[in-house]
Structure 1
Amino acid sequence: MALPVRSQLKYWGAAAVVFLLLLWWLGNVILPFVLGAGVAYLLDPVADRLERIGLSRGLSVAIIAIVMLLLFVALVLLVIPTLISQAVSLSERLAEIIEGAPGTVASFQEWISTRYPGFVERFPDFADIETTLRNMLTNVTEALRSRAGTLVEGALASFSGFFNVIILFLIVPVVAVYLLIDWDRMIAKIDDLLPREHAPTIRRVASDIDDTLAGFLRGQGLVCLILGVYYAAALAIVGLQFGLIVGAIAGFLTFIPYVGALVGGILAIGLALFQFWGDWVWIIAVWAIFQSGQFVEGNFLTPKLVGDSVGLHPVWLLFALSAFGAVFGFVGLLVAVPLAASLGVIARFLTAQYRDSALYRGTGGDGTDIS
């Protein structure tokens, strides 16, 4: 006999609470397994396609593993050293900009005083802006140095941090390969455990969650890749220093709505102001690169690659990332999107059930008014 709805809600609620408690308690421990499961989930369609052309599951997974290994080696040997070099140079350049900011302000004051003689008399606080800026930069620099010193000291003092990174790189591929080999069998076993009376409904909801999550992750991943390459190439063409690292940052952060263009644009325009000061054509060109990128993303890339059917509203996604990241740390950020997609699909399903209920329609089962 089926359990009453109230009892089912109690069991599912208790299961959700246990899951969240385990996520909070075992966050760092389950990180490699969460990453491995995510990799296996993303690569399962590739393995299925290889199986459809006649390859065995084991051979399909072996081919995928070899290709991913080659891509990883190429990334480590070719791309990552360049990104690290530009990141180090960028940090040094930012330090030089901070140290030279008072002199730049003094030159700007002199230019304003020469071009507009009455400006300083009308705004006397402007004459003392150099001292204010110098004090502010000194405080910021000291805070950054103290925080950086603490972080570096902690990183150097803790061998376990480095050990955990090595373990992460070793465990994640192994977990992903084993899960990818047994993925279809695991799904089949889970399906066998579903209550027979509700199995069709659960399958339909799970299929909707899979479509939503897969469409978002794969589509948004392509959007991030395309925009990252575009920003990096375009900034390099206009001659902006550190254009590659700025483009990579902007492309990666595009996964978070509005953040990628905002952070990348501010960083690129700030660098352009110091590099091309006085040559406004190139500064405007850098601004136009990010404006055009946002236009193409909003009107072409996201509608075509992600689509409106995904149903993950940007505000809902931002809330999920913020909430799960704050409570569960880095693991929370990893599971935020899957959980947001799942909750969104479940909310739409429950809304449809409510609209089809007698409570919403105001009629009994025979169509008579129950008011």
Structure 2
Amino acid sequence: MALPIRDQLKYWGVAAAVFLVALWFLGDVLVPFLLGGAIAYFLDPVADKLESMGCSRALATLLITIIAILTFVLVALLVIPTLVNQTASLIETAPQLFKNFTNFLTERFPALLDEGSTLRTSLNSIGATIQERGGELLETALSSFASIINVLLLFVVVPVVSVYLLLDWDRMIASIDRLLPRDHAPVIRDLAKDIDATLSSFVRGMGTVCLILGSYYAIALMLVGLQFGLVVGFVAGVLTFIPYLGALIGGALAIGLALFQFWGDWVSIGLVAGIFGLGQVIEGNVLTPKLVGSSVGLHPVWLILALSVFGTLFGFVGMLVAVPLAAAIGVLARFAVDQYQQSLLYRGTGRHEHAEADDA
């Protein structure tokens, strides 16, 4: 006889509570393992494809590892130094940018920004705050990455964990499958497939979209001569993970910088705007339909809510698990709604239909 529903809910509730407590107390420790697991999950289809071409799992993992190391070294040598330098320069020139913006408004709208007005003072203080806080943030980040512990976590533990998980991924899934409750194994497998389909469509698809768009924005903006094109492309590419946000923030940042740098050169300003317009056309009509699909099941508002809630509660580790948990909760919610619509609570006993038929 199957375990009563009340007892099942009790056990699953305890498991969920243990998971949340572990995130709360062990968040910093779990970060490299979650990153390693995410990398392994992202690369598992590549390993499966190599296996179907005749490679063993070990050989497929070795090939992927070699390519990943070469890519990382190339990016570290060519991209990261330029990205750091441009970010530092952008932070240093922020006050001057705001000053130029204030002067621009003063020349064209003198009544709007009188000397000593609240708006003028606020704009000047914003630039100084960005320089002060941005410099502190950059300095803290650089010193943090330079520390021995973080270097070990990021550059040793994460690759090692990802390689081992990628090597044993299929065996781990089979082991988990053997531990499923026998009465509910078919339903859990179906739900897991739906969650995997949602995650694979969104995470792998949007990850690829972010990489392509970020590279396109960075290269195109640098080619038209925008000073901080690499930083803008990086920001726009990362934020593309949240639909529409990357284009809005990246486009506003790029066009704003172009107005300061190319004021009067409307061709260059138009090229910057055109780069983001073309990027949105490519994303909406080619990249997202092909790589992500039209029915992912993760609404942008739901995704932003999940990132905000889990990020606030559990910090960076919460943001790492927000997307998988959002996908899982969405699938479970749709399953619950489907079960409800098939239940007597929703459909009723049908007596009212018979009563209406008798009255007729």
Q: Deviations over 1:305-362 (max 9, x none)?
A: 1112311111111111111111111111111111111111111111111122222221
> Where do 1:20-99 residues align within 5 Å?
20-99=20-99
Aligned counterpart, 1:162: 147
Residue 222 and residue 127 in structure 1: after superposition, are their counterparts in 2 closer, same or farther (change >3 A)?
closer
Report the Cα distance in structure 1 between the residues aligned to 2:54 and 2:301, rounded to whole angstroms: 44
1:231: Cα distance to partner? 1.6
User: Alpha carbons of 1:243 and 1:155: their partners in 2 closer, same or farther (altered >3 Å)?
Assistant: closer
Gap change, CA 1:56 and 1:149, over 3 Å in 2 = closer
Give the unaligned 5+ runs of structure 2.
Answer: 356-360
Alpha-carbon distance in structure 2 between the residues aligned to 1:232 and 1:248: 7
1:311 and 2:311 matched: no
Displaced runs of 4 or more, over 6 A: 152-156, 158-161
2:313 pairs with one of 318, 324, 327: 327
**CA pair 248-148 structure 1, distance change in 2 beyond 3 A:** closer
Q: For the aligned residues, what is the CA RMSD?
A: 2.9
1:350 to 336, 339, 346: 336
2:192 counterpart of 1:202: no
State whether structure 2 residue 170 is matched by structure 1 residue 187: no
| TM-score, with structure 2 as normaliser | 0.89
The 2-side partners of 1:71 and 1:38 are apart by 18
CA distance change for structure 1 residues 74 and 183 in 2, over 3 Å: closer, same or farther? Answer: same
Distance 2:113 2:138 in 1: 39
Say if 2:168 is the partner of 1:177: no
2:122 alignment partner in structure 1: 136
DSSP 3-state at the match of 1:363? coil
Alpha-carbon spacing, 1:296–1:52, altered in 2? closer, same or farther (3 Å): closer
Unpaired stretches in structure 1, ≥5 consecutive residues:
113-119
Cα distance in 1, alignment partners of residues 349 and 312 from structure 2: 45
Distance 2:345 2:126 in 1: 59
Letter of the 1:171 counterpart = V
Return the offset for 1:104: 4.1
The 8 Å contact of residues 94 and 131 in structure 2, kept in 1 or not, is answered as no
Q: CA deviation at 1:291?
A: 2.5
Task: Go from structure 1 to structure 2 and tell me whether the alpha carbon gap of 1:339 and 1:96 turns closer, same or farther (over 3 Å shift).
Answer: same
Instruction: Name whichever of 301-310 and 342-351 sits farther off.
Output: 301-310
TM-score (norm: length of structure 1): 0.86
- In the other structure, the counterpart of 1:360 is 346
Structure 1 residues 295, 213: closer, same or farther in 2, change over 3 A?
A: same
Distance 2:266 2:131 in 1: 34
Query: What secondary structure is seen at the aligned counterpart in 1 of 2:147?
Result: helix
Deviates more, 1:211-220 or 1:58-67: 58-67
